[in-house]
């Protein structure tokens, strides 16, 4: 069971955080960009090479500090098919370094279309009866607006491969309430989404007793996280919004259970772009990211004790 693997990694490192790998060319230090452009030109190919060098540096610097990374598919897709090739390579490299990879894809479609996504990201494509893997992440994020038809095919693929998913429940952005906070009967829409997801999983699994579908719950709405933690006792939480978006360690603590289990907190810019705050030219980007990841770990450890 994949959340067991993640929870074990978190316990081993005493660090319930995940580092975002958001491939924006603006985040890459000058020297990596110039080297890549010199070889491949200042277009898609050069940008992908620069980001690849950046990602490798980040993964090498972080893999013994953080248990997981979260590449955001949008930034790779932004660069066309070359960006998607870079994403495949980045996931493969991160896994080779022992990192748990959460592909932040937020996909949502139905039936055989959802199955096609699920195969591409989790269980592999079927071509003439054989299975071929491409993106092959450990876990993906999902959007369930279309209902259970959009979640079930991913649960099937995840189960087959001992993987897992996170469904968007209450997101961290300012406008998240426009739909998610609507009150329908005795529940808000995001609570319905959380309940629905749990019903589909068919119960808990593995030694830690989590269900195969976790929930995305934004750090910027701590009281909602607190309510969800009580409501969804056996659900693993992915918590975005720490740092740049305004969520604090004190805010995220309510995502964890009394053993300090069951949640992982994301930081993207805070770690990737730490070099920009050192006043340097970026040649120190890996060390700066490592220091920022350690600082984040220690910040959260003030509020969360992992047993």
Active site residues: 106
Q: How far apart are CA 107 and CA 168, in angstroms?
A: 10
Burial 57-69 (b: 16+ CB within 10 A, else e): bbbebbbebbbbb
Residue among 56, 196, 287, 306 that touches a copy of itself (CB under 8 A): 196
φ and ψ at residue 69, rounded to 5 degrees: -125, 155
Residue with smaller CB distance to a copy of itself, 13 or 56 = 56
Among 70, 7, 11, CA closest to 270: 70
Q: How far is the CB of 214 from a copy of itself (least distance, A)?
A: 17
Residue with smaller CB distance to a copy of itself, 112 or 258 = 112
Does 175 bind a copy of itself (CB under 8 A)? Our answer is: yes
Going by their DSSP bridges, the two strands 125-127 and 130-132 should be labelled as antiparallel
Does 19 bind a copy of itself (CB under 8 A)? Our answer is: no
Q: How far apart are CA 29 and CA 273, in angstroms?
A: 9
Q: How far apart are CA 119 and CA 158, in angstroms?
A: 9
Does 192 bind a copy of itself (CB under 8 A)? Our answer is: yes
Q: How far is the CB of 164 from a copy of itself (least distance, A)?
A: 20
Judged by CB under 8 A, the stretch of 170-178, 231-239, 274-282, 290-298 that binds a copy of itself is: 170-178
Judged by CB under 8 A, the stretch of 110-118, 158-166, 273-281, 293-301 that binds a copy of itself is: 110-118
Does 130 bind a copy of itself (CB under 8 A)? Our answer is: yes
Judged by CB under 8 A, the stretch of 93-101, 104-112, 201-209, 256-264 that binds a copy of itself is: 104-112
Determine how many CB atoms are found less than 10 A away from the CB of residue 93: 18
Beta strands in 1-137 (DSSP E): 17-21, 68-71, 100-107, 125-127, 130-132
Judged by CB under 8 A, the stretch of 102-110, 229-237, 252-260, 276-284 that binds a copy of itself is: 102-110
Does 114 bind a copy of itself (CB under 8 A)? Our answer is: yes
Q: How far apart are CA 146 and CA 108, in angstroms?
A: 7
Residue among 174, 202, 203, 246 that touches a copy of itself (CB under 8 A): 174
Does 258 bind a copy of itself (CB under 8 A)? Our answer is: no
- Interacting residues with a copy of itself between 66 and 95 (CB under 8 A): 72, 74-75, 77-85, 87-88
Among 101, 11, 13, CA closest to 55: 101
- Interacting residues with a copy of itself between 42 and 61 (CB under 8 A): 42-44, 46-47
The number of residues that bind a copy of itself (CB under 8 A) is 71
Residue among 9, 63, 70, 107 that touches a copy of itself (CB under 8 A): 107
Judged by CB under 8 A, the stretch of 54-62, 182-190, 247-255, 291-299 that binds a copy of itself is: 182-190
List 170's β-bridge partners, or say none.
217
Does 279 bind a copy of itself (CB under 8 A)? Our answer is: no
List 72's β-bridge partners, or say none.
104
Among 143, 103, 98, 101, CA closest to 120: 103
Q: How far apart are CA 264 and CA 17, in angstroms?
A: 5
Residue 228 exposure: Cα atoms within 13 Å on the Cβ side: 38
Does 106 bind a copy of itself (CB under 8 A)? Our answer is: yes
Going by their DSSP bridges, the two strands 263-267 and 17-21 should be labelled as parallel
Residue with smaller CB distance to a copy of itself, 14 or 269 = 269
Q: How far is the CB of 125 from a copy of itself (least distance, A)?
A: 5
């Amino acid at each position: 069971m994949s959340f067991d693997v993640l929870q074990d990694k978190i316990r081993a490192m005493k660090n319930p955080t995940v580092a975002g790998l958001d491939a924006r060319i603006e985040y890459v230090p000058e020297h990596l960009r110039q080297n890549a452009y010199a070889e491949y030109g200042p277009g898609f190919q050069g940008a992908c090479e620069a980001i690849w060098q950046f990602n490798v540096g980040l993964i090498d610097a972080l893999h013994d500090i953080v248990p997981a990374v979260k590449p955001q598919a949008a930034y790779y897709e932004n660069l066309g098919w070359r960006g998607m090739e870079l994403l495949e390579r980045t996931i493969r490299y991160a896994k080779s370094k022992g990192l748990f990879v959460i592909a932040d894809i937020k996909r949502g479609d139905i039936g055989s279309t959802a199955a096609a996504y699920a195969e591409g990201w989790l269980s592999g494509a079927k071509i003439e009866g054989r299975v071929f893997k491409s993106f092959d992440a450990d876990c993906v994020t999902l959007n369930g607006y279309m209902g259970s038809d959009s979640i079930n095919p991913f649960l099937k693929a995840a189960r087959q491969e001992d993987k897992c998913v996170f469904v968007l429940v209450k997101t961290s952005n300012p406008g998240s309430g426009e739909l998610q906070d609507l009150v329908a009967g005795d529940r808000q829409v995001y609570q319905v989404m959380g309940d629905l997801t749990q019903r589909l999983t068919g119960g808990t699994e593995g030694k830690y007793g989590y269900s195969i579908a976790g929930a995305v719950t934004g750090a910027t709405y701590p009281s909602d996280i607190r309510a969800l933690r009580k409501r969804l006792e056996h659900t693993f939480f992915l918590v975005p919004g720490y740092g740049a978006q305004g969520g604090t360690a004190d805010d995220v603590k309510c995502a964890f259970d009394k053993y300090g289990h069951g949640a992982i907190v994301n930081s993207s810019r805070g770690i990737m772009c730490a070099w920009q705050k050192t006043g340097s030219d970026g040649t120190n980007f890996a060390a700066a990211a490592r220091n920022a990841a350690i600082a984040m770990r220690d910040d959260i450890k003030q509020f969360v004790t992992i047993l």
